[in-house]
């Protein structure tokens, strides 16, 4: 009876901890991708997935709808509950992600203490990636796919193949850009099995090579996943990510750019901790785990947004490595017993509650839309004083989505793929936007803008002030609106 009460108490404690963590991590401010997601979802409800753009004044643009299912879901939430509903959904998805990281790690390692600590440690680095965007759902789906790949390799069972297939179809429709990563998740196990007979580590080596298990089933599942990638309404699961990376989006979109020590110190801090552990030689690491960790590190160095994938998808490997460290360094300490102790539960809950009061309480005071980043006042002025349905507005990349949300046609927005020649052959908006300060006369003549809306911090203002055919008609603390003189 006491054991049952302790288990119930432990379950309640664990759920409460990750609820508090999700509240701490969730950000209230909405981003430009959230704004366009809402409007794209609205367009899907009206027109279906018609592969057409409805929000730029540039005609006949084709749009691939790379995360149509997520867009439609977000619009439904916004339609009924507004930004409050989106904020609540963000908290729920964050909880699902963190709790999934913990519970699947625990099931893999059977080590409550190490799974608990590792998940809390990893979650602390996820804050910049917790936003109302399709990536949050895709993180969960990829983690579950990896979990069932590990289960399939360990135990076989065709049910695991079924789960992988279903999750893959969901991913292809929720976030096509990340679908090729499904096949990356298989690689460490396939390569490890292939090298099993070639590498023979001695007893003193930190390396362990897991014996090949169910390799044929893994290969069959890969074929099934290839088929699942085509079961998307857009058919862009295999082409989208390659097209987007072939373009010059890295020059404008920060998260597409390679990681740097100056701008992203936490990435290198996290990697440094793992590398120190790997160099300690007081543990054993499976060859497949080594491949997984190194491969995800490489992806993180190539693209900033892959850092979140590294944190989340390396969790099983990290827990296994830390478990062997625990056996060598903490032989007389049982972490699981410590963290299942009632006093420890109380202390952890109090500390997280205090942190939650300060961080989440601060978030509640913030507005959903930051007027320093988005032209909230300018939008009101435009809709009240200008024929906005017929205007040709030059706007900045990061403000386009907010204009879309308010039914103002845009020159460019955060859907970078829409404006790249890799997706629309005759469209050079992305290139023209990038070259605007240096070749402004050509761009202004080419698009015949009736108005220009830019940040007052933009150096282009210096040029515009001296152009005889544009005048300032509205200015506030953050933005300037120009109108073309007829």
pLDDT digits (tens, 9 = 90+) for 16-25: 999 999 999 9
Which position has the higher pLDDT, 78 or 274? 78
- Other CB atoms within 10 A of residue 328 CB: 12
CA angle 281, 282, 287 (to 5 degrees): 65
Q: Are strands 479-484 and 451-455 parallel, antiparallel or unpaired?
A: antiparallel
User: Which pLDDT band, with edges at 50, 70 and 90, does 322 fall under?
Assistant: confident
Q: How far is CA 240 from CA 105, 176, 398, in A?
A: 31, 7, 21
- Specify whether the CB–CB gap between 312 and 142 falls below 8 A: yes
Residue 324 has pLDDT above 60, yes or no: yes
pLDDT at 252 exceeding the cut of 60? no
Lookup: tokens for 22: 């999700």
Helices (H) and strands (E) in the chain, counts: 20, 6
Rounded percentage of the chain residues whose pLDDT exceeds 90: 42
Q: pTM for this structure?
A: 0.90
If you search the block for the tokens 């069959």, which residue do you land on? Answer: 220
pLDDT in tens, 199-231: 776 666 677 777 888 899 999 999 999 999 999
Confidence tier at 381 by pLDDT (50, 70, 90): very high
Per-residue confidence band for 249, with pLDDT thresholds at 50, 70 and 90: low
Sign of CA dihedral 412, 413, 417, 423: negative
| pLDDT of amino acid 101 | 95
Residue-wise DSSP of 113-144:
HHHHHHHHHHHTT-GGG-SSSHHHHHHHHHHH
Q: Can you spell out the DSSP letters for 219-256?
A: HHHHHHHHHHTT-SSS--TTTHHHHHHHTTGGGT-GGG
Instruction: Give the integer Cα–Cα distance in Å for 16 and 179.
Output: 32
Region 262-270: mean pLDDT is 60
**Alpha-carbon 196 to chain mean position:** 34
Q: Classify residue 102 by its DSSP letter.
A: H
pLDDT above 60 for 335: yes
Cβ atoms within 10 A of the Cβ of 341, count? 11
User: By C-alpha distance, which of 483, 485, 480, 484 is closest to 378?
Assistant: 480
Q: Domain locations in the chain?
A: 2-30+64-364, 376-484
Q: Look over the chain and give the mean of its residue pLDDT values, rounded to a whole number.
A: 85
Give CA–CA dist 29/98, Å, rounded.
20
How many Cα atoms sit within 13 Å of 75 on the Cβ side?
18
């Amino acid at each position: 009876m006491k054991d049952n009460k302790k288990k119930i108490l432990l379950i309640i404690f664990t759920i409460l901890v990750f609820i508090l963590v999700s509240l701490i991590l969730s950000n209230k401010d909405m981003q430009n991708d959230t704004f366009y997601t809402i409007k794209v979802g609205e367009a899907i409800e009206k027109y279906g997935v018609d592969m057409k753009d409805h929000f730029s004044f540039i005609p006949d643009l084709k749009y691939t709808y790379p995360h149509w299912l997520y867009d439609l879901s977000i619009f439904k939430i916004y339609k009924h509950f507004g930004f409050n509903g989106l904020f609540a959904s963000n908290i729920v998805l964050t909880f699902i992600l963190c709790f999934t990281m913990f519970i699947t790690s625990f099931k893999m390692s059977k080590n409550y203490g190490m799974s608990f600590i590792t998940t809390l440690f990893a979650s602390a680095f996820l804050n910049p990636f917790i936003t109302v965007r399709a990536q949050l759902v895709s993180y969960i789906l990829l983690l579950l796919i990896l979990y069932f790949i590990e289960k399939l390799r360990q135990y076989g069972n065709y049910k695991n193949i079924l789960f992988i297939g279903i999750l893959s179809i969901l991913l292809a429709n929720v976030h096509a850009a990340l679908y090729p990563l499904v096949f990356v998740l298989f690689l460490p196990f396939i390569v490890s099995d292939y090298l099993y007979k070639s590498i023979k580590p001695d007893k003193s080596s930190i390396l362990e090579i897991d014996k090949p298990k169910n390799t044929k089933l893994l290969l069959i599942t890969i074929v099934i996943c290839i088929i699942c990638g085509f079961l998307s309404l857009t058919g862009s699961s295999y082409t989208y990510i390659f097209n987007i990376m072939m373009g010059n989006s890295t020059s404008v979109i920060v998260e597409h750019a390679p990681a740097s020590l100056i701008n992203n110190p936490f990435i290198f801090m996290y990697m440094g901790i793992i590398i120190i552990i790997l160099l300690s030689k007081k543990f054993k690491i499976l060859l497949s785990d080594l491949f997984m960790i190194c491969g995800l590190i490489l992806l993180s160095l190539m693209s900033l947004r892959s850092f979140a994938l590294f944190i989340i998808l390396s969790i099983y490997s990290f827990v296994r490595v830390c478990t062997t460290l625990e056996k060598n360094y903490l032989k007389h300490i049982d972490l699981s017993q410590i963290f299942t102790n009632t006093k420890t539960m109380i202390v952890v809950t109090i500390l997280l509650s205090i942190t939650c009061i300060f961080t989440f309480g601060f978030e509640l005071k913030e507005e959903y839309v930051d007027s320093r980043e988005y032209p909230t006042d300018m939008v009101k002025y435009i809709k009240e004083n200008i024929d906005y349905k017929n205007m040709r507005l030059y706007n900045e990349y990061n403000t386009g989505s907010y204009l879309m949300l308010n039914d103002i046609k845009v020159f460019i927005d955060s859907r970078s793929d829409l404006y790249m020649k890799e997706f629309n052959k005759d469209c050079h908006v992305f290139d023209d936007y990038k070259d605007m300060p240096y070749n402004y006369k050509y761009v202004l003549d080419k698009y015949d803008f009736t108005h220009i809306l830019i940040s007052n911090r933009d150096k282009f203002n210096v040029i515009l002030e001296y152009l005889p055919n544009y005048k300032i008609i509205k200015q506030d603390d953050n933005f300037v609106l120009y109108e073309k003189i007829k």
